[in-house]
């Protein structure tokens, strides 16, 4: 049985990806940020995954911490035997204008969104190289492709992920490991629930499909990229934005 490890999978897009990959037949390693509340949420996600007849376990780790990522990857490998798919989904925002942004707000977003991708890909790719196969999907954003006012930290982290995806794909393609990214636009999650109606209307005016995306619409593309149906696709960033920019 193949195993998929999904970071930040206790809610939102990560939760939906975990359930979709369970439906696809992967055993699931649900990563969550270590907190009491998240243990319960991650536990429910794992339970939902098991309802598809696969194994699922929860693994607490702060993905911005290099050592915690290495420990988690070791634990997942020991529990399941292989790691065939990795989804680097965990992410945060600390939005404000550049002139108001603190150094801490900048550094936190870079650490959680961007450095985490290095922290996770390094130990997982070592395992995938020994296995001689594997597939990775990194969570970028349209902010990393086009920029967004008030998100200089977030846009920097997501643009970096696109470059990291291409670099890793070139390094490990010969080892039968594929590395791709998805760049969602505005998706209905707790992250976007906080927008006012006026903010939402302004956004819809710029989207060809005139609506937010659903988490399932991201999970479907991640599922495809991890599957053998995408066997000749690597180093790519697939935009899933309803036609935000064309």
Which lies closer to ligand NAP via its Cβ, residue 135 or residue 189? 189
Could you tell me how many residues make up the chain? 246
> Cβ 99 to ligand NAP, closest distance in Å?
23
- DSSP letters of 115-182? IHHHHHHHHHHHHHHHHT-EEEEEE--HHHHH--TT-HHHHHHHHHHHHHHHHHHHHHGGGTEEEEEE
Span from 6-14, 72-80, 125-133, 197-205 in contact with ligand NAP (CB under 6 A): 6-14
Gap between the Cα atoms of 27 and 50, Å rounded: 8
Alpha helix (H) residue ranges in the chain: 12-23, 36-50, 66-80, 103-109, 116-131, 142-146, 152-172, 190-193, 197-204, 215-226
Residues of this chain, 58-97, that bind ligand NAP according to CB under 6 A: 62-64, 89-92
Verify binding: residue 186, ligand NAP, rule CB under 6 A. Answer: yes
Strand, helix or coil for residue 187: strand
Out of 32, 146, 154, 232, pick the active-site residue: 154
Gap between the Cα atoms of 94 and 43, Å rounded: 27
Verify binding: residue 237, ligand NAP, rule CB under 6 A. Answer: no
User: Is 154 noted as a catalytic residue in this protein?
Assistant: yes
Verify binding: residue 161, ligand NAP, rule CB under 6 A. Answer: no
Verify binding: residue 8, ligand NAP, rule CB under 6 A. Answer: yes
> Cβ 174 to ligand NAP, closest distance in Å?
29
**Which of 192, 206, 214, 235 lies at the binding interface for ligand NAP (CB under 6 A)?**
192
Gap between the Cα atoms of 118 and 214, Å rounded: 28
Which lies closer to ligand NAP via its Cβ, residue 13 or residue 179? 13
Are 178 and 169 contacting, i.e. CB atoms less than 8 angstroms apart?
Answer: yes
Verify binding: residue 114, ligand NAP, rule CB under 6 A. Answer: no
Residues of this chain, 196-235, that bind ligand NAP according to CB under 6 A: none
Gap between the Cα atoms of 81 and 75, Å rounded: 10
Positions that interact with ligand NAP (CB under 6 A): 7-8, 10-14, 31, 33, 35, 38, 62-64, 89-92, 112, 139, 141, 184, 186-187, 189-192
Q: Which residues are catalytic?
A: 154
């Amino acid at each position: 049985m193949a195993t998929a490890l999904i970071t930040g999978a206790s809610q939102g897009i990560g939760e939906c990806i975990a359930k979709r990959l369970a439906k696809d037949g992967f055993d699931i390693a649900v990563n969550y940020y270590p907190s009491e509340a998240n243990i319960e949420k991650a536990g429910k996600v794992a339970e939902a995954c098991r309802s598809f007849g696969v194994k699922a376990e929860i693994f607490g780790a702060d993905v911005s911490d290099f050592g915690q990522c290495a420990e988690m990857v070791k634990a997942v490998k020991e529990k399941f035997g292989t790691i065939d798919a990795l989804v680097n989904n965990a992410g945060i925002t600390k939005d404000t204008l550049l002139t108001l942004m603190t150094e801490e707000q900048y550094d936190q977003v870079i650490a959680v969104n961007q450095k985490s991708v290095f922290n996770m890909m390094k130990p997982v790719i070592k395992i995938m190289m020994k296995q001689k196969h594997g597939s990775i999907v990194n969570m970028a954003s349209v902010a990393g492709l086009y920029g967004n006012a008030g998100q200089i930290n977030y846009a920097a982290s997501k643009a970096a992920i696109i470059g990291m995806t291409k670099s890793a794909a070139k390094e490990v393609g010969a080892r039968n490991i594929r590395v791709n990214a998805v760049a969602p636009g505005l998706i209905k999650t707790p992250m976007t629930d906080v927008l006012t109606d006026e903010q939402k209307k302004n956004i819809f005016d710029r989207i060809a499909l005139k609506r937010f995306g659903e988490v399932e619409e991201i999970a479907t593309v991640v599922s495809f990229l991890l599957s053998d149906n995408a066997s000749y696709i690597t180093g790519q960033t697939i935009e899933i934005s309803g036609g935000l920019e064309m």
